[in-house]
Chain A
Amino acid sequence: MAGAAVLGRLTWRLAEVAGVVAQTMRTRTLVLEIDGWSGHRAGQHVDIRLTAEDGYQAERSYSIASGPDDPRLELTVERIDDGEVSPYLVDEVRQGDSFEVRGPIGGYFAWSPDDGGPLLLVAGGSGVVPLRSMLRARPRDVPAKLIYSARTHDDLIYRDELSALGDDVLLTLTREQREGVRAGRVDEDLLRDETFAPDEDPRVFVCGPTSFVESVASALVELGHAPERIRTERFGPTGR
């Protein structure tokens, strides 16, 4: 998009919670109405800011889960045990609540159809959130493959939506054996056998916990993918 790199200062806007959608035991999607929202590119995130009654504030970043053409902004939040913000967003926030949001943010881990494909997306845990936005943004004529690694079947977010994509999505579970679902980590063998080859020149996006991102990115480079074609977003040891 022309001018996407030029920002002007981002301002804090008020987001009203139009709805909440339970996803898994640990995750929830917040559907937001934001006055003056200008749209986003898939992969971008927002900063949110919460204010307590005594004026104390906390800020966090969350990847945008909705596609650029979706009517409302969606954030999918994972509850981090003894987190400061995520338990509030997952367990307490209800329809009608509001908080401040700033964005869209990020020019590196972002994709638009103009950037072309094929699209190779590799998600660890809640790293699937920005990649789901990319899948929603891609036209049908852009080949895409999502490799999504989660601990157990119950941890899989957007299950129905992803299963409707058929062979474009490969799930793998690292802590559970389940009939019909692949078990094991995302390693070189999986990436070689199940995804685009380097000579197909895919745009690659890897997102998830830091150790997951590092091992997947290394494996992709080992397989011959050009490092400049691989973009990464690390969510830290446990996600945000």
Chain B
Amino acid sequence: MEELDGNAAAGMLSEVFALELTAARGRCDGCGNIAAVGEARVFVDSPGLVVRCRNCESVLLVLVRGDGRYWLGVQGLTWLELAAT
């Protein structure tokens, strides 16, 4: 089982986000930690992409891809700070 970091999620996230996400900072709704998505703990060998807070391990974001549909869960993020340029 590979535990990687947010860089490994970038490709799949680019399928649903127009803005680059790994440089974006997010606030973990579980512990309040603020960090770049690139620093998160990412599980790619999975039925879906699971992004977890490096500080408290709670789930920040889940992306499931199947037969032409995506399910995006972002409940674990209070917010994401995205740069437009």
Contact = CB atoms under 8 A, between A and B. Distances in A.
A234 B85 CA distance: 26
Interface stretch (A50-58, A87-95, A103-111, A185-193): A103-111
Interface in B1-32: 2-8, 10-11, 14-15, 17-23
Contacts of B11: 10, 47, 59, 61, 102-103, 105
B17 to A, nearest CB: 7
A3 interface: yes
A45 B7 contact: yes
B36 A108 contact: yes
Given A108-B6, A236-B3, A9 B37 contact: no
Residue of A5, A102, A210 ringed by the most chain B CB atoms within 10 A? A5
Given A7-B20, A9-B15, A233 B2 contact: no
Contact of A6 (B2, B4, B39, B85): B85
A103 B84 CA distance: 19
Given A3-B85, A5-B84, A7-B20, A106 B7 contact: yes
Nearest to B42: A234
Contacts of A164: none
Given A9-B14, A9-B15, A4 B39 contact: no
A5 B19 CA distance: 6
A218 to B, nearest CB: 13
Interface of B: 2-8, 10-11, 14-15, 17-23, 36-39, 82-85
Interface of A: 2-10, 45, 47, 59, 61, 102-103, 105-109, 210, 231-237
Given A10-B14, A108-B7, 15 more contacts: A5-B19, A5-B20, A5-B85, A45-B7, A106-B10, A107-B10, A107-B20, A107-B21, A108-B36, A108-B38, A109-B7, A109-B22, A232-B5, A234-B5, A236-B4
24 contacts: A3-B85, A5-B19, A5-B84, A6-B18, A6-B19, A7-B20, A8-B18, A9-B14, A9-B15, A10-B11, A10-B15, A61-B8, A61-B11, A106-B7, A107-B10, A107-B20, A108-B6, A108-B38, A231-B38, A234-B4, A234-B5, A236-B2, A236-B3, A236-B4
